[in-house]
């Protein structure tokens, strides 16, 4: 999380943090984990009232930011959500809000309004079932048929699909990409709930069997949405990293405290150099995760030419080191660290989930290699 | 000069105007560096004559920066600097990207040495040396490590004994890079053996071209011969060349090592961004992979990506640490986090280059292009985790000073240094 917050941002972050501590303390997370829903409706609506879904939408479309930099503000929310391992499809809902706010036009104003005030939910259906589960692979087709669009394919995992009224579906039309806002009750849409590692975040597989929607359901151009999809991916990546960094921060803080309270051989654990050195490494990974996430947020917000690369770098680094950090936290707790009773797994779960959604670290490293190659070619052309 | 003119001259130059001026200077005067021109880890590819010519060239470059009003950006004007801000320094550094710069003048001369002079030097010391550093006339070394140990810097054995207005120094220092072509050194020496180790040290300014200073070169495993060991035999230094109080050298030493850890983040260092990744970098790896014909291999692409990730994360981390230390959100000790990251990231990056080179990493011919010597670099891999204080010492600082964990028990704290057990020699 950045150091140079404005006082408004600090207040905003505080408010969100307080709300989360009140509404979803760990005891509540444990309760929510048992039900199917993962969170209560009024929790999400109150979050929306705090601004959770409005920050990437401009004022003309009913949104608004705290600081003028909506993504930086939302990064603070995502960090706190991660720090509390809190429920809710924050990343996915914001990706859709951003898309509808910028490319949705009037046709989708109502869905956007519902998203903004928390009365309705729309999430992003982007990734697919294996073997099309690789980063950027889109097999679902969107075909124009008269003044209708026809969707065929399977999306998975789709967050909160069971309670979303609409899904923003990314599909393929010939060589291009198309995005369509599809009501989940449209004929041919079937939602199959999945189980997953996170206690409160819920995902489903969604099938689209010859689903017909009017052409006006398209968000942006049919066959011309690649740039918009890339933008959405970048937003999803950096926001997921913010959440993860929050989770890492909690896990690390808990473990530092534990190491000073727990004694063996008459000394606190934190007095053993063998362990102190591991804490130093973890602290380095944590600070580096903060740093690269903030840098990526800033680049994506500014639409800088390096945004795509930095977003992937952040995802690769936080995904990789974050897992290592939290497993180290488990290790340093000893046996209690692998119990359900202890809270450390709440954060490990959140990190584990975010690490893999929208591309594994390895996939993002390979994407980064493409940027490196392109950069070298540019340099050689320039020389 | 009229009062109005003086006012105008004193007005601080804006960063944008400064950047324009810097850009013009850089473009008009400095040679462009071909991408990938500087590769490898401390490669031994120059004769002594060539090396000395390079040193002279760096001095000349430094003089050009000085004449253009671009030396000592954050150094007060009374010592020949520009009296500007770190933001100005950063602008200059950014403009240098892709151009030659006075590489041998930066570390350790500008930081930690000049920084320590500014912090603790007497007015006379500052007026004598700082302008000469800024014009390229003086290149400095840091004399900390000794054959008996470098991590435990405060256990220095080199001894200074007072003789009237002078001090007489005896002992040996080691691992100085380029002492054989340098002029001065900051030297940490023991002035009292009857008190605990931290309370018996004093810092001196030491001329290297002085009777009693013998500089010997050390060959590293790759044949690089710029590191030196110095033998001091009855070297006489006037008391006016003492820095800080007698026996209070640890106060100076603590700041000294802080400046050392700042490395390329120091506001006194003029170098294009990315010097932290000098040595084997993403570019070397890409070229090696391409030369090997394996750029399409997903495993190789993963490694190329990993190297780039380490680089960009390192850049972001250094920025964060710098911002955090400036605003007070992070303690000064947080520089050790950057040091630890950089050491490990460079070692890993070197390993990646070796990995993508396959068999050509261990056996090569002269026509193997970017694959030549990658294997030797790999043998030198750990250097980034040793030089400038080891990564273990950085981990001690991060855990004890940043995270506040209990200090290691030591056996030398309240004992006269004379009685502290030492390495067998
Ligand atoms: C590229 C390079 C440039 C250098 N430049 C300079 C220079 O300009 N001036 C200068 O004075 N020196 C310089 N050095 C020397 C460098 O600072 C020392 O090599 C370093 O501090 C380690 O000291 P040492 O070699 O004596 O190892 P030792 O101190 O003997 O350490 C040996 C091993 O024990 C570990 N160790 C020691 N104490 C502890 C502890 N308390 N806890 C855990 N582990 C410990 C170390 O990390 C290391 O792994 C340079 C070295 C290199 C490689």
pLDDT digits (tens, 9 = 90+) for A177-211: 999 999 999 999 999 999 999 999 999 999 999 99
Closest to B109 measured CA to CA, from B208, B196, B193: B208
- What phi and psi values does residue B207 have, to the nearest 5 degrees? -80, 135
pLDDT in tens, B259-298: 988 877 889 999 998 765 556 788 889 988 998 899 999 9
| pLDDT of A3 over the 50 cut | yes
Distance B390 CA to ligand 1 centre (A): 5
Task: Give the residue from B387, B125, B106 showing the smallest Cα distance to B268.
Answer: B106
From residue A162, alpha-carbon distances to A110, A165, A208 in Å are 20, 8, 14
Per DSSP, the residues of B321-380 read HHHHHHHTSS-GGGHHHHHHHHHHHHHHHHHHHHHHHGGGGTS--TT-GGGTTHHHHHHT
Going from the Cα of B322 to the center of ligand 1, the distance in angstroms, rounded, reads 24
Tokens of residue A308, six digits: 């795509």
Residue of B265, B273, B320 to mutate, interface with A, max A Cβ within 10 Å: B320
B181 C-alpha to ligand 1 centroid (Å) = 23
CA distance A332 to A255: 7
CB A3, CB B327: distance < 8 Å: yes
Rounded Cα distance between A317 and B415, Å, is 46
Confidence of residue B8 (pLDDT cuts 50, 70, 90): very low
Q: Directed axis angle between helix A307-333 and helix A361-382, to 10°? A: 140
Cα distance from A271 to chain B (closest Cα, Å)? 5
Beta strands in B64-156 (DSSP E): 140-143
Q: Which of A143, A136, A128, A154 is nearest to A178 (CA)?
A: A143
Q: What is the CB neighbour count within 10 angstroms for residue A236?
A: 24
Give percent of chain A with pLDDT exceeding 90: 94
Q: Can you read off the two tokens belonging to residue A161? A: 């699909």
- Contact between A237 and A307 (Cβ < 8 Å): no
Contact A291, A276 (CB under 8 A): no
Distance (Å, rounded) from C-alpha A202 to C-alpha A183? 19
Give the span between the Cα atoms of A170 and A173, in whole angstroms: 10
Contact B371/B361 with Cβ under 8 angstroms? Answer: yes
Angstroms from B51 CA to nearest CA on chain A: 27
Q: How far is the CA of B340 from the centre of ligand 1 (A)?
A: 13
> A100: closest CA among A168, A169, A172?
A168
Full-model pTM: 0.93
Which of B286, B329, B408 has its CB closest to that of A376?
B286
* Residue A190 CA neighbour count, 13 Å, CB half: 8
Instruction: Please state, in angstroms and as integers, the Cα–Cα distance from residue A284 to each residue in A278, B144, B336, B348, following that order.
Output: 10, 26, 9, 15
Contact between chains at A366 and B34 (C-beta distance less than 8 A): no
**pLDDT, mean of residues A162-172:** 97
Residue B3: pLDDT band (50, 70, 90) is very low
- Which residues on chain B are in Cβ contact (under 8 Å) with A270? 399, 403, 405-406
Q: How far is CA A239 from CA B36, B146, B286, in A?
A: 35, 49, 30
Q: pLDDT: is A215 or B292 the higher one?
A: A215
Q: Which of residues 243-282 of A touch B (CB under 8 A)?
A: 256, 259-260, 267-268, 270-271, 273, 276-277, 279-281
Whether the CB-CB separation of B364 and A40 falls below 8 Å is answered with no
Query: Which residue among B390, B393, B405, B407 has the greatest number of ligand 1 atoms within 8 angstroms of its CB, and so is best to mutate?
Result: B390
Chosen for mutation from B300, B312, B409 (greatest number of chain A CBs closer than 10 Å) is: B312
Tell me if A47 sits within 8 A of A60, measured CB to CB: no
Residue-wise pLDDT tens digits, B186-245: 999 999 999 999 999 999 999 999 999 999 999 999 988 999 999 999 999 999 999 999
End-to-end CA distance of chain A: 38
3-class SS shares of chain A: helix, strand, coil, % to 5: 55, 15, 30
Of B320, B344, B396, the CB nearest to A287: B320
Residue A311, Cα to own-chain centre: how many angstroms?
12
Domains within chain A, CATH numbers bracketed:
7-120 (1.10.540.10), 123-217 (2.40.110.10), 226-378 (1.20.140.10)
Residue A36 clears pLDDT 80, i.e. is over it: no
B405 and A271 within 8 Å at the Cβ level: the answer is yes
- CA separation (Å) from B97 to A27, A306, A321, A374, B27? 54, 17, 30, 19, 11
At A106 the pLDDT is 86
Instruction: Calculate how far, in angstroms, residue A305's C-alpha sits from the geometric centre of ligand 1.
Output: 41
Q: Which of B405, B406, B410 to mutate to test the interface with A (most CBs of A within 10 A)?
A: B405
Contact A313 B312 (CB under 8 A): yes
Q: For residue B343, which residues of chain A lie inside 8 Å, CB to CB? A: none
Does A366 reach chain B within 8 Å, measured CB to CB?
Answer: yes
CA-based nearest residue in chain B for residue A318:
B313
Mean pLDDT of chain A: 96
Distance of alpha carbon B421 from alpha carbon A134, whole angstroms: 60
Tens digits of residue pLDDT in A333-376: 999 999 999 999 999 999 999 999 999 999 999 999 999 999 87
Best probe of the B interface among A365, A370, A373, by most B CBs < 10 A, is A365
Question: In the prediction, which pLDDT does A64 show?
Answer: 95
B29-47 pLDDT per residue, tens: 999 987 666 667 788 778 9
Q: Which atom of ligand 1 is nearest to the CA of B108?
A: 8
CB-closest option in A273, A291, A370 to B319: A291
Atom of ligand 1 nearest to the CA of B392: 47
Contacts of A261 in chain B (CB under 8 A): none
Choose among B85, B227, B80: nearest CA to B145. Answer: B227
| Residues on chain B touching A276 (C-beta within 8 angstroms) | 395-396, 399-400, 403, 405
Q: Tens digit of pLDDT for each residue in B136-157?
A: 999 999 999 999 999 999 999 9
Q: A283 and chain B: CB distance < 8 Å anywhere?
A: yes
CB contacts of B287 in chain A (<8 Å) are 376
Q: Using CA coordinates, name the residue in chain B closest to A315.
A: B309
3-state secondary structure of B171: strand
Give the C-alpha separation, A182 to A158, whole Å.
13
pLDDT score at B7: 45
How far, in Å, from the CA of B146 to the mean position of ligand 1? 9
Higher pLDDT, A146 or B332: A146
Q: Is the dihedral of CA A369, A375, A381, A383 positive or negative?
A: negative
- Write out chain A residues lying below 8 Å of B402, CB-based: 280, 283
**Domains along chain B with CATH numbers:** 35-138 (1.10.540.10), 142-257 (2.40.110.10), 278-402 (1.20.140.10)
ipTM of the complex: 0.95
| Contact residues on chain A for B323, CB-CB shorter than 8 A | 3-4
- From B108, B219, B226, B388, mutation site for ligand 1 pocket: most ligand atoms within 8 A of C-beta: B388
User: Ligand 1 — pocket residues by CB below 6 A?
Assistant: B 108, 142-145, 149-151, 175-177, 383, 386-387, 389-390, 392-393, 396
Which of these ranges, A145-149, B52-56, B273-277, B314-318, has the smallest mean pLDDT? B273-277
Do residues A287 and A294 make contact, with C-beta atoms less than 8 angstroms apart?
A: no
CB A236 within 8 A of CB A356: no
The alpha carbon of residue A365 is apart from the nearest alpha carbon of chain B, in Å, by 4
Q: How far is B342 from chain A (nearest CA, A)?
A: 10
* Chains A–B, number of C-beta pairs less than 8 Å apart: 135
CA A235 to chain centre: 8
Q: Measured between CA atoms, how close is A347 to chain B, in angstroms?
A: 21
Query: Residue A76 to residues A290, B230, B272: CA-CA distances in angstroms?
Result: 12, 54, 32
Is B406 in Cβ contact with A271 (below 8 Å)?
yes
Q: A277 vs B392: CB contact, 8 Å cut-off?
A: yes
Interface residue of B37, B99, B305 to substitute, partner A, most A CBs within 10 Å: B305
Position B276 scores a pLDDT of 57
Gap between the Cα atoms of B312 and B315, Å rounded: 5
Q: What is the mean pLDDT of chain B?
A: 92
Q: Whose CA is nearest to atom 7 of ligand 1?
A: B176
Decide if pLDDT at B5 tops 50. no
pLDDT for res B375:
92
Q: Given a cut of 80, is residue B385 above it in pLDDT? A: yes
B309:A316 CB<8 A: yes
- Cα end-to-end distance, chain B, whole Å: 65
């Amino acid at each position: 999380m950045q150091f140079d917050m404005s006082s408004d941002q600090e207040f905003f972050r505080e408010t969100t943090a307080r709300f989360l501590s009140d509404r979803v303390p760990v005891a509540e997370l444990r309760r929510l984990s048992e039900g199917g829903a993962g969170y209560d409706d009024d929790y999400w609506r109150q979050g929306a009232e705090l601004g959770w879904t409005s920050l990437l939408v401009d004022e003309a479309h009913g949104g608004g930011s705290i600081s003028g930099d909506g993504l930086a503000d939302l990064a603070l929310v995502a960090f706190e959500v991660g720090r509390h391992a809190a429920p809710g499809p924050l990343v996915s809902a914001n990706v859709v809000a951003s898309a509808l706010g910028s490319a949705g036009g009037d046709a989708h104003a109502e869905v956007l309004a519902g998203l903004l005030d928390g009365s309705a939910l729309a999430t992003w259906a982007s990734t697919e079932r294996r073997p099309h589960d690789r980063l950027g692979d889109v097999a679902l087709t969107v075909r124009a048929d008269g003044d209708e669009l026809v969707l065929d394919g399977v999306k998975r995992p789709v967050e909160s699909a069971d309670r979303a009224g609409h899904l923003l579906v990314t599909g393929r039309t010939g060589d291009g990409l198309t995005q369509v806002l599809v009501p989940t009750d449209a004929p041919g849409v079937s939602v199959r709930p999945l189980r997953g590692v996170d206690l409160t975040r819920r995902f489903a597989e969604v099938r689209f069997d010859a689903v017909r929607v009017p052409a006006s359901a398209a968000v942006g151009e049919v066959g011309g949405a690649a740039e918009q999809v890339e933008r959405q991916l970048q937003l999803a990546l950096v926001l997921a990293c913010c959440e993860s960094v929050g989770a890492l921060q909690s896990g690390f803080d808990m473990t530092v405290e534990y190491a000073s309270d727990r004694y063996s051989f008459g000394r606190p654990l934190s007095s053993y150099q063998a362990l102190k050195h591991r804490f130093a490494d973890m602290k380095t990974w944590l600070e580096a995760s903060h740093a690269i996430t903030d840098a990526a947020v800033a680049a994506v917000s500014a639409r800088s030419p390096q945004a795509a690369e930095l977003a992937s770098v952040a995802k690769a680094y936080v995904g990789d080191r974050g897992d290592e950090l939290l497993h180290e936290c488990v290790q340093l707790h000893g046996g209690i660290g692998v119990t359900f009773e202890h809270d450390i797994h709440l954060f490990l779960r959140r990190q584990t989930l975010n690490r893999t959604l929208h591309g594994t670290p390895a996939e993002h490293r390979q994407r980064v290699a493409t940027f490196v190659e392109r950069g070298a070619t540019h340099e050689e052309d320039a020389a | 000069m009229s009062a109005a003119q003086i006012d105008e001259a004193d007005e601080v130059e804006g960063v944008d105007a400064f950047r324009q001026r810097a850009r013009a200077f850089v473009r008009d005067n400095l040679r462009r560096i071909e991408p990938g021109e500087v590769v490898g880890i401390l490669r031994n590819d120059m004769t002594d004559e060539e090396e000395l010519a390079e040193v002279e060239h760096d001095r000349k470059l430094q003089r050009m920066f000085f004449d253009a009003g671009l030396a000592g950006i954050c150094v007060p004007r009374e010592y020949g600097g520009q009296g500007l801000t770190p933001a100005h320094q950063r602008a200059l550094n950014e403009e240098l990207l892709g151009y030659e710069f006075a590489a041998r003048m930066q570390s350790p001369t500008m930081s930690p040495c000049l920084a320590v002079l500014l912090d603790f030097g007497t007015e006379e010391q500052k007026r004598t040396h700082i302008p000469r550093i800024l014009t390229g006339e003086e290149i400095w070394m840091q004399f900390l490590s000794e054959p008996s140990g470098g991590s435990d810097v405060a256990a220095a054995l080199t001894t200074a004994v007072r003789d009237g207005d002078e001090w007489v120094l005896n002992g040996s220092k080691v691992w100085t890079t380029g002492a054989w072509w340098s002029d001065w050194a900051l030297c940490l020496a023991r002035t009292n053996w009857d008190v605990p180790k931290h309370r018996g040290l004093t810092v001196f300014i030491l001329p290297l071209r002085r009777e009693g200073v013998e500089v010997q070169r050390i060959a590293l495993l790759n044949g690089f011969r710029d590191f030196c060991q110095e033998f001091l035999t009855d070297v006489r230094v006037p008391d006016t060349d003492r820095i800080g109080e007698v026996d209070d050298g640890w106060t100076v030493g603590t700041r000294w090592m802080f400046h050392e850890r700042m490395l390329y983040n120091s506001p006194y260092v003029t170098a294009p961004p990315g010097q932290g990744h000098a040595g084997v970098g993403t570019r070397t790896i890409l070229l090696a992979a391409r030369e090997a014909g394996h750029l399409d291999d997903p495993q190789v692409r993963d490694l190329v990506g990993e190297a780039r990730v380490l680089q960009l994360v390192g850049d972001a981390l250094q920025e964060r640490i710098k911002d955090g230390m400036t605003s007070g959100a992070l303690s000064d000790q947080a520089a050790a986090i950057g040091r630890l990251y950089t050491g490990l990231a460079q070692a890993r990056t070197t390993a990646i280059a070796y990995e993508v080179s396959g068999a050509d990493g261990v056996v090569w011919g002269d026509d193997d292009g970017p694959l030549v010597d990658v294997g030797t670099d790999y043998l030198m891999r750990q250097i980034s985790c040793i030089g400038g204080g080891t990564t273990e010492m950085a981990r001690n600082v991060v855990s004890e000073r940043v995270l506040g964990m209990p200090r290691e028990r030591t056996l030398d704290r309240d004992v006269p240094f004379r009685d502290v057990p030492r390495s067998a020699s």
